[in-house]
A = this chain, B = another copy of it.
């Protein structure tokens, strides 16, 4: 297990997957070690592991472990099906499992387990390298030693490496360009106060959490130099879908003349859609707003408006850091 001053979300060690159970954060720091594909599927279902890129990595390791004792075609099919059904909307998970299955079919059963472990490790390394480059490319957002504001969770707990927006913050911190971070709590699921606060603390970055609605006062007082957040999907014109509350920050930036940045791997760019108008917004269960972690705050009968994401128009985005570059407007992403 790692020392207290470090942490990881996912690791493959001694033929086992080791992961930090994110449902226990921030009150408990519990690592789970398993080589059971069923246990891994349950971990995905229970959100013990989460975050789009991380689910791809976990899925690939899980598929490999499904072949550890029985490398037969039937075992591979079983592992694939069990894992792919855990989170039907997780695009990265299905993508990783499809590629793992292709890799399985490319060779013999004899070395299938070893080949698939190597495949998963490569995917993991590749994701970590992309995170590293996003961080490097994002450094140009910092014109001076700055105070940044971020939203939701975008670090190790969501990716296979140091994250997207979080990697930018961490890199800036390491180069002495980051003064302070304000992390929105990010209602309704509070990924900011539960997860991002944990990651900032572990990385030694000085920070405060705050209620989402308090950020505006920091802009009013001129305390925020830049905002950097992740993205779930980016259209060809640069319009970006991200966690609910992101558009609010982009408006605060525009009104107070503060640059608003996105950090995301190019795999997030969906150039097949021309603009954000084509991005469907998932409306989630109102119980997320009416309760928190089982604590009721509003009557069950009351309607709650609960969009999972919002779309920030490209004209409000000062730059998009990917593993390739810090893209600047006007954005013209191609297929």
Contact residues of A between 235 and 294, Cβ < 8 Å to B: 244-245, 247-248, 251-252, 254-255, 281, 289-290, 292-294
In the complex, what's the smallest C-beta–C-beta distance from A151 to chain B, in angstroms? 8
A297: chain B residues within 8 A (beta carbon)? 26, 185, 190, 193-194, 292-293
Q: Are B197 and A298 in contact (CB under 8 A)?
A: yes
**A213 on the interface (CB 8 Å rule)?**
yes
B213 touches A244 (CB 8 A): yes
Asked if A215 and B248 make an inter-chain contact with CB atoms under 8 angstroms apart, the answer reads yes
Binding stretch for chain B, among A77-85, A97-105, A303-311, A326-334: A303-311
**Of B188, B201, B213, B310, which contacts A220 at CB under 8 A?**
B310
**Chain B residues within 8 Å of A210, by CB:** 289, 304-306
The answer to the question of A299 belonging to the interface, with a C-beta cut-off of 8 Å to chain B, is yes
Report the Cα distance A215→B187, complex, angstroms: 12
The copy count of this chain in the complex is: 2
> SS class of chain A's interface: helix, strand, loop or mixed?
mixed
- Given known contacts A194-B298, A214-B305, A216-B248, what 10 new A-B pairs fall within 8 Å (CB)? A26-B298, A186-B213, A193-B298, A211-B245, A211-B306, A213-B213, A214-B244, A214-B310, A217-B247, A254-B255
Interface residues of A (CB under 8 A from B): 26-27, 182, 184-188, 190, 193-194, 197-198, 201, 207-218, 220, 244-245, 247-248, 251-252, 254-255, 281, 289-290, 292-299, 301-307, 310
